[in-house]
Amino acid sequence: MVLAGKLITELGIKTPADRFYKLFQSELHEVQNHCERIHHTKLHEGEDWHDTDTVKHWTYVIGDEVHTCYETIEEVDEENKKNTWKLFGGDIDKHYKVFKLILEVTDKADGTAAAKWAIEYEKINEDIEPPNGWMDYLSKCTKDIDVNLSKARVARKD
């Protein structure tokens, strides 16, 4: 049985790609204010939320269960609005040897935008299920964030 895999979902968003990406690129500490499934975030090591050497601690809900993990930024590609994060520790290490989240935000030709999430993972053994709950979690968080960023954008125009 294959232990490694990749899951991908692409979601249409109302928020312009630049603004949506900015939240993850330079305002990561604010994500918990836009998504109720993220209960708490804090710096674990380091002083800058967006430095590749910084470790963040996350508490979040998938399904009805509270989970925790640590995260570091693995790669930043500002030109293509793409970030890769490595997740580890906490509940991640119970199931996976490798767990990466990849976000790429794009503008579409019709004037809308899309957030594309990918999860690259390697399970610790063949009895572990793929992280399908994570895809639901990312979809719900993306929708929550999009609604909140869209409301803030409309409020600024008034």
Q: How many residues does the chain have?
A: 158
The label of the residue with tokens 């009895």 reads 127
Confidence of residue 158 (pLDDT cuts 50, 70, 90): very low
Report pLDDT digits (tens) over 53-85.
899 999 999 999 999 999 999 999 999 999 999
CA distance 15 to 150: 6
DSSP states of the chain: ---EEEEEEEEEESS-HHHHHHHHHH-GGGGGGT-TTEEEEEEEE-S-TT-TT-EEEEEEEETTEEEEEEEEEEEEETTTTEEEEEEESTTTTTTEEEEEEEEEEEE-TTS-EEEEEEEEEEESSTTSPP-HHHHHHHHHHHHHHHHHHHHHHHHHH-
Report pLDDT digits (tens) over 80-106.
999 999 999 998 999 999 999 999 999
CA distance 105 to 113: 7
pTM of the model: 0.91
Phi, psi of 79 (to 5 degrees): -60, -40
Phi, psi of 67 (to 5 degrees): -125, 160
Calculate the CA 105 to chain-centre distance.
12
CA 48 → CA 53, 72, 103, 109, 113, distances in Å? 9, 11, 20, 35, 28
Report pLDDT digits (tens) over 4-63.
999 999 999 999 999 999 999 999 889 999 999 998 899 899 888 888 889 999 999 999
CA distance 28 to 145: 12
